[in-house]
Chains A and B, each alone.
Chain A
Amino acid sequence: MDRFQRKHHDPHAHVIHAPHKRLMSKVPLRFVWNKVSGHGPKSPNAALNLVSFIDFLMVTVIFLLMSFSASGEMTVDKNVKLPKAENVEDMIDAPMIAVNGNQILVDGTLAGSTRAIEELGRLQKIDELFALLKNKRELWKQLQPNKPFPGVCILQVDQQVPALVVKSVFQTAAFAGYPNVSFMVGKIPSTN
């Protein structure tokens, strides 16, 4: 313990010395010596390395921001399995007509039966669908009287539905004032 006894004040103590074999061994403090020699107690404040954690969070945020879509989610009828295509366009906001194996729905409201069209075996105007779409069109015109009506609707058609039903719905939509019909499809990555 002599090491830590206060020595006589040396006026040249600040002069630079030749390095010793161990750094800070000349510091006359017990806790410093304990630290230097490796026998000191573990510090109660353990520092957590946050760099890798923040890096991970940053990468996650950047990935999610890049894949973020502000256009919102289009609800797809759970009974409709959409076909997939490559040469497609982005979705737009328009009335949605869902056609599955049993029924036709306009924005969730029943507007006809697929089976009935198949059983009849010929193209036909679907009256309920026509009435619903016409009402929608008139409502749109009342709400926006100064704008030209776009006449766009989107068909969500199940991939197994026969062409007869598709053509009947297509034709009915055109009669009701929606000549610009789009088919909703799943997007497959471009090969070009």
Chain B
Amino acid sequence: MGGVDVGEGGGKKRSTNSDINMIPFIDLLFVTIAFLLITAVWTTNSRINADAQVPGPPDPNKELTPQTPEKVLNLHIGDSEFSLVWKQGATVVSEIKVPKNPQETGGDSKIVRYPDLAKKLEEEWKTQGGHRDPTDRKLDQCILFSDNRTPFKEIVAVLDALYSPKRDMKFADGTSKKLPVFNMTFSVR
């Protein structure tokens, strides 16, 4: 065992059992604990991405070629149901309704979640999604339509469900990461 050596007054022979002085070691541990406690972040915040879909300035050197519009998911938040509409330009490709089945968890601050919507969104992406290859860096677009009075808590619950389906995406450095399949923007009207 390490102990605290108080020293012996002028011993003739050195003891065979030498004690390690533990005081500096314990001091170091205390200082480390104090530093870590002071700098500790006890609440972890994260972020949910959105994109305002603002087009960049046109490149005058590039010739504009007409492109077929991509399929876009329009997600409507209704009073009692969600409506998932895949549109290509103005053409409606498919439309399904998902009943609103909120699951509330937590104590005082209730967390609203929509697991049914998340499941349905994954199924929809598997059948209609346009960007599935791991080397494809683009994401499928989703436009969120909500009533102006909808509380932000509910919007985040829908966004959480929207970002639940994930796919592998390969980057230029060869690494691969699981990322949400959709990118969201608000419908402004």
Contact = CB atoms under 8 A, between A and B. Distances in A.
B188 A123 contact: yes
Contact of B29 (A54, A69, A72, A154): A54
Contacts of A130: none
Nearest to B32: A61
A163 B45 contact: no
Contacts of A92: 47
Interface stretch (A9-17, A83-91, A137-145): A83-91
B46 interface: yes
A159 B151 contact: yes
B96 interface: no
Contacts of A18: none
A163 B155 contact: yes
Interface stretch (B35-43, B64-72, B130-138): B35-43
A85 B159 contact: yes
A57 B30 contact: yes
A23 interface: no
A173 B51 CA distance: 11
Contact of B151 (A53, A67, A121, A162): A162
Contacts of A91: 45-47
B50 A181 contact: yes
A115 interface: no
Counting contact residues on chain B (CB < 8 A from A), the size range is 35 or more
B42 to A, nearest CB: 9
B188 A64 contact: no
B33 A64 contact: yes
Contacts of A57: 26, 29-30, 33
Interface in B132-162: 146-153, 155-157, 159-160
B151 to A, nearest CB: 5
A121 B149 CA distance: 9
A45 B51 contact: no
A174 interface: yes
Nearest to B53: A179
Interface in B95-117: 106, 109, 111, 113
Contacts of A162: 148-152
Contact of A60 (B33, B43, B48, B53): B33
Interface in A68-114: 68-69, 71-74, 76, 81-92
A97 B44 CA distance: 18
Contacts of B93: none
Contact of B48 (A68, A160, A179, A183): A183
24 contacts: A45-B6, A50-B4, A50-B22, A54-B26, A57-B29, A58-B29, A61-B29, A61-B32, A64-B33, A71-B41, A81-B109, A83-B152, A83-B153, A84-B111, A86-B160, A89-B48, A161-B151, A163-B155, A164-B149, A166-B152, A170-B52, A185-B45, A186-B43, A188-B111
Given A76-B45, A180-B52, 12 more contacts: A47-B3, A53-B26, A54-B22, A83-B152, A87-B48, A157-B152, A158-B152, A167-B148, A171-B186, A173-B52, A182-B47, A184-B45
Closest A-B pairs by Cβ, 10 of them: A174-B52, A88-B46, A64-B36, A164-B148, A159-B153, A87-B163, A182-B47, A85-B160, A179-B52, A83-B156
